Amino acid sequence: MIKMKECDIEFYQRIKDFLPECIIDVHTHIWRKKDYPQQKKEDPRIVKWPSMVADENPVEDLIEAYKILLPGKNVTPVIFPNLPEKNNLEKINDYVSECARKTGFPALIFSDPKWTSDEVEEKIIYGGFIGAKSYMSMVPDIPSNKISIFDFFPRHQLEIHDKKSWIVMLHIPKDDRLKNPENLKELLEIDEKYGNASVVVAHVGRAYCNSDAGNAFKLLKKTKRIFFDISANTNEHIFSLLIDAVGPERILFGSDMPITRMRMKRIEKNGIYVNLVPKGLYGDVSGDKHMEEIEGPAAEKLSFFLYEEMDAFRRASEKYGLKKPDIKKIFYENAKRIIDKAQNN
């Protein structure tokens, strides 16, 4: 599944001591290929390149990936399904529920905004979940730049998550990501009204480029409760702004596995992120604006997305003066706290 090279071993040695012995990864996807038999209609709001990394990620592959990529570390993932296709939502949620029971891993249901409060509560309790993840693709009839957080996480659902102290994995919408004023207004509302739920803003609000931030972090300093995970983000500058805005108590490590198994290095070009990948490794990437192939010695030195993310956060942490207790909070203790809270309600 994953072949380690000398450059990978060297890279891991650079970050190994930065990482605590025990890690909770709050952002992982598991799914089986057989649960996705239909040809899905493309949604322009969903990037294509993650599907090039893995066409399935059963829980056994996730466990094996940690052993290979993070040797010597004890990693516990929070698991949830991949994006659903037509009519398979129940099947993919059932698979995650089954895996959570077998492994003991905490899990989130993939929720449908059409569910009532009672349905959300019943499905989460019955499946042994501790919260939910949803996505803008669940409301395909609303244009990309018109969609609200409350369209796919409606207020009546957030109310039940708040009542039960559950976890909400939130992917903010709109093309301009974290800096969008409507997104920021809604995040401030969520922070104010649903403070008992553990709302996790995924990927630092999808702020992958410096230009994605705007004045977001000045406003986010006003928040008191919402969390941010660093999954699939490699931007040291954005990480520094995040640390300054919310401190180490509200940052969580997430990987977005399996896509962070990808061999790559991310750059910013013309205001968008671009993943540099070895030529030919991920098939035809010519139609994807977020992918660019390289070859020769530079390509041979490309290591894993996961390591790039961790190293970028290491650099930001060191520049900001975070200490080992702070890093332990971010990579383990903060997640354990919200998981325990969700499991005990």
What average pLDDT score do residues 108-134 get?
Answer: 98
* pTM for the structure as a whole: 0.96
**Residues, the chain:** 345
Ranges of beta strands (E only) in the chain are 22-29, 74-80, 109-110, 131-133, 167-170, 198-201, 227-229, 251-252, 265-269, 272-278, 291-294
Mean pLDDT value of segment 64-90: 96
pLDDT band at 91 (very low <50, low <70, confident <90, very high): very high
Please tell me which residue, 143 or 117, carries the higher pLDDT value.
Answer: 117
Over the stretch 272-290, which tens digit does the pLDDT of each residue have? 999 999 999 999 999 899 9
Task: Please tell me the predicted confidence (pLDDT) of residue 45.
Answer: 62
pLDDT tens column, 33-71: 999 986 555 666 677 888 899 999 999 999 999 999 999
Position 334 scores a pLDDT of 98
Q: Pick one of 3.20.20.140, 1.20.140.160, 3.30.420.40, 3.40.50.1010 as the CATH number of 6-262+306-343.
A: 3.20.20.140
Residues 6+ apart with CB under 8 A from 195: 162, 224, 225
- Tell me, what's the pLDDT at 39? 59
Angle between helices 59-69 and 89-103 (to 10 degrees): 50
Q: Average pLDDT over the chain, rounded to whole?
A: 96
CA distances to 4, 114, 197, 294 from 305, rounded to whole Å, are 13, 35, 30, 16
